[in-house]
Amino acid sequence: MKAWIISISAVFIIGFIAFSSYIYYVTAEPLREREEAAVQLASEHVSLSEVRDIQYYHGRRSYQVIDAVNEDGEDIYIWVEEDEDRDDVNIEVRLHSEGLTKEEVIEIAVSELEIQSIKSVRLGMTGSTPVYEVSYMDQVDRHSFYYLTFEDGTYIRHYQFLS
């Protein structure tokens, strides 16, 4: 009897894991397709030798931000705007060396703000300006966002949600 219970439990656990994996794959597929489309568009404007990472940014407009290496071996960021209604897609390319690093952005944010914990630091776009978005929790547990320019860390704006 004990062997039957163990066998049935194992079948249910395996079934649950398989079902969960399938659900994850199905829900993540549209994001993978958008990332692949962004890389395809970017490679039409820039010769890429390697794509390191792709992050999604949603502000007033949505972007896929690609961390890549061009054919000259230079580290670059590429902002690819997501807009299916337009034929001319906005693509911005910057060398890593043209802007601040994430570590430098964190230093600026910590020196300017009262931060309890940083949730994320990612690249985005405000208007036509490449920016860093710092997502953090402040000292009174408010989820907050701080925006700095990619090039020199100039303050853009700051949002805080009520606690």
SS3 track for 74-94: CEEEEEEEECCCCCCCCEEEE
Which of 108, 138, 132, 104 minimizes the C-alpha distance to 120?
Answer: 132
Cα distance from N-terminal residue to C-terminal residue, the chain: 54
Q: How far is CA 138 from CA 78, 110, 120, 149, 162, in A?
A: 30, 11, 13, 21, 11
The whole-model pTM stands at 0.80
Q: Locate tokens 């993540």: which residue? A: 28
pLDDT in tens, the chain (163 residues): 778 888 888 888 998 898 888 888 788 787 788 889 889 988 888 999 999 999 999 988 899 999 999 999 999 999 999 876 666 678 899 999 999 999 999 999 999 998 999 999 999 999 889 999 999 998 888 999 999 999 999 999 998 887 6
